Amino acid sequence: MAEYDFRAREVDTGTPTSARLYHYYLTGEPVYRNDQIFADKVYDELPFLHTWALHNRAFLARAVRFMAAKGVRQFLDIGSGLPTGGNTHEVARAIAPDARVVYVDKDLDAVGRAHQLLRRENSPEKTAIVEGDLSDPASIIDHPESRRLLNTDEPLGLLIVSVLPFVPDASDPHRLVADIRDRLPRGSYFAATHVSLEDADEHTKKQVAAAAALYQATSDPVHLRDRATFTRFFDGFTVISPPGVTYATDWQPDRPVDKDDPARPCNFAAVGRRP
């Protein structure tokens, strides 16, 4: 049985990161004071950030439940962020107690806190955290912890939720996703979201654009993309339809959708299956 091993390194607390900011949007709990100062400026431009983050989190949970109901028993969560309520392994094991999960994040606070959580839970035979980055798919797939927990002979649930907007075009994000896709077993599923302003009204477009502009001062600038560009991430997958490529709120919702919610059209989502 492997043991959790993580040695904290020096963290840059002065420059906000997408993982720490997202955690603040979700929970209202800042990791560092500088994160809160910056996030509050973003809130001034985009007041519905908390709602937007909740939509992402709720979609993640529904996607995991969908995959688990389809028989998926192993998950790779890339850009998993700082642990909070409704983590992937918790959602999956409510349906399949034997589900295995590998979390991946490049943020040292996310990795460190995940190690603390997993050490408390003491289930290394089913859960691992890897320090890694979508920009290097091979280092994720071939990581010893991934090889230890993920079986290449059975379907896998790939989760890249609220991550793709932080991958610049220069890094060719479609190729990065395709590189992982080509290593997935047949019958695997892929879930993703992407912030967009394509379908928003003019006022909301200005709000989203202003918030995205602020992110240029972080370690992870935001890159907005339209529906067609987001859909291309699912090349090589059969998109689950209904609902197809839609808003995160509208993907197999478990409660009535508020169509007047300004955050609703700002977040595309989809789930695909590798045939």
What is the predicted pLDDT for the residue at 3?
44
Cβ atoms of 81 and 105 within 8 Å: the answer is yes
What is the predicted pLDDT for the residue at 12?
83
What is the predicted pLDDT for the residue at 184?
98
- Per-10-residue mean pLDDT of the chain, 275 residues long, equals 50 90 96 96 98 98 99 99 95 98 96 91 93 96 97 98 98 99 98 98 98 96 98 99 98 97 98 99
In a domain, 56, yes or no: yes
What is the predicted pLDDT for the residue at 160?
99
In a domain, 5, yes or no: no
What is the predicted pLDDT for the residue at 79?
98
In a domain, 161, yes or no: yes
Q: What is the value of pTM for the model shown? A: 0.95
Q: How many domains does the chain have?
A: 1
**Domain span holding position 222:** 18-273
In a domain, 1, yes or no: no
